[in-house]
Amino acid sequence: MSDSRTEAQPPIADTRTLVEYLESGCRSADRWKIGTEHEKFGFRLDDLSPAPHEGERGIGALLQGLADRYGWTPELEAGEIIALKRDGCSITLEPGGQFELSGDLLDHLHQTCNEVNSHLAEVRSVAEPMGLGFLGLGFHPTAKREDIPWMPKARYRIMRAHMPKVGSLGLDMMTRTCTVQVNLDFSSEADMVAKFRASLALQPIATALFANSPFLEGRPSGFVSYRSHIWTDTDPQRTGQLPFVFEDGFGFERYVDWMLDVPMYFVRRNGRYIDASGQSFRDFLAGRLPALPGERPTLSDWEDHLTTAFPEVRLKKFLEMRGADGGPWKRLCALPAFWVGLLYDRASLDACLQLVADWSTDDLATLRNDVARDGIRATIHGRSVREIAGDLLELARDGLRNRKRLNAAGDDETGFLEPLHVTVETGMTPADQLLALHDGEWGGSLEPLFRTRAYY
């Protein structure tokens, strides 16, 4: 991204500007949108190895092929193609080459599903002739950390050097995890607080429902969501459950206070990433940042800094639900259906807040760890996650019905919840299904996983 945006902006005068930035995201309910993001692992069809960026069969060539065939605009860094833009959407690369679609802001879930299907069809049409496939899982099932090629982005070089200083699994988070998330709006500070509290408390339920990463380097890991486990030892200063969200007085200002204490990674200037890892945005506001002495930040710097925190729910000018493993294409539409049904209907949202009213922050910390290992078999206050998930699906169904968003056939949005109903009815998450196949039909091999679960 060009730094002319930074040079044209005035320095931030005080923290009130940062609060107002978040407040500016408020929009009336009739203007609420749905933004869905999903990541997937690229691999070579012949030997199942992770796809590098370089070469005729690399991720860079795939990006160029999509640009040439489908009208995407390439974005370059140091002469390398690292992203694509088109019509409100972007395709970007995570550090290990995970291929991410950040979708457009859409009105309803029928549009979301069309967007997902169109994207996967475009990628497949270019990738297949190159001998590339894509796999939707929360954690790479076979590759070791050293097997993953790094993408040529300066931001990731800075993070790569910093991560081992603050946790033992940060590099695995960067290179071996994939997620699906949905970004949702709020109408006011009070509405943001209600949605933040409900979604943060219920994020472990989503983690359990979408658990789809049971393998580590070719073997069962002991977790149904190893991706979720990774986040418990990545960087405690920028991850986790955020207990302060449930405290009296929480709002935009309190989130800003937290973000000011989240250590920085970098600052962008003149097309370069300047290493500011571990330094303080508070010092930056005061003109005392060691990486740029005497200089103060702009709103573009604040936007960058907001992207470097990784809690289970993240606040920008919208709320990001971040607790789910990547998965099969039907579940890419199920996640936004789940959260839209719960959070975009006031009755369903109020019911969610009532459901979690007596869950303490200690309860939530325990549940977060338990669902990574046990999925929907985990319990809280004597109830199984499976039972709670069933109640939430009824609330989500009611919320989606109340929206009355119909497709051309007259169907509402509730059908997108069907994969989650199956999980609750059978007691089998995607991870449980994969483990059963691994132990049975697949005879302990994971090669069939790439053949039967890939997006091609």
Structural domains of the chain ordered from first start? 1-31+263-308 (no CATH), 32-262+309-452 (3.30.590.20)
Q: Which two tokens stand for residue 456?
A: 């091609």
For the stretch 249-258, contacts whose Cβ atoms lie closer than 8 Å and that sit 24 or more positions apart, written own/partner, are: 250/193, 250/196, 250/197, 251/189, 251/192, 251/193, 252/19, 252/22, 252/23, 252/189, 252/192, 252/315, 253/15, 253/19, 255/22, 255/315, 256/15, 256/18, 256/19, 256/22, 257/15
- Determine the pLDDT at residue 8: 76
Q: How many CB atoms lie within 10 A of CB 15?
A: 15
Question: What CA–CA distance (Å, rounded) separates 273 from 305?
Answer: 13
Residue with tokens 């933004």: 35
> What is the band of 3 on the pLDDT scale with cuts at 50, 70, 90?
very low
In tens, the pLDDT along 138-185 reads 999 999 999 999 999 999 999 999 999 999 999 999 999 999 999 999
The pTM (predicted TM-score) of the whole model is: 0.97
Backbone φ and ψ of 269, nearest 5°: -145, 135
In tens, the pLDDT along 230-283 reads 999 999 999 988 999 999 999 999 999 999 999 999 999 998 999 999 999 999
Alpha-helix runs per DSSP H in 177-223: 189-209
In tens, the pLDDT along 343-376 reads 999 999 999 999 999 999 999 999 999 999 999 9
Task: Specify whether the CB–CB gap between 226 and 214 falls below 8 A.
Answer: yes
Can you tell me whether residue 45 is helix, strand or coil? coil
Helices and strands per DSSP (H, E), number in the chain: 18, 17
Q: Which two tokens stand for residue 235?
A: 């960087």
DSSP for residue 106: B
Q: Distance from first CA to last CA of the chain, Å, rounded? A: 32
* CA 312 centroid distance within chain: 9
Task: Specify whether the CB–CB gap between 209 and 423 falls below 8 A.
Answer: yes
Question: What CA–CA distance (Å, rounded) separates 66 from 153?
Answer: 20
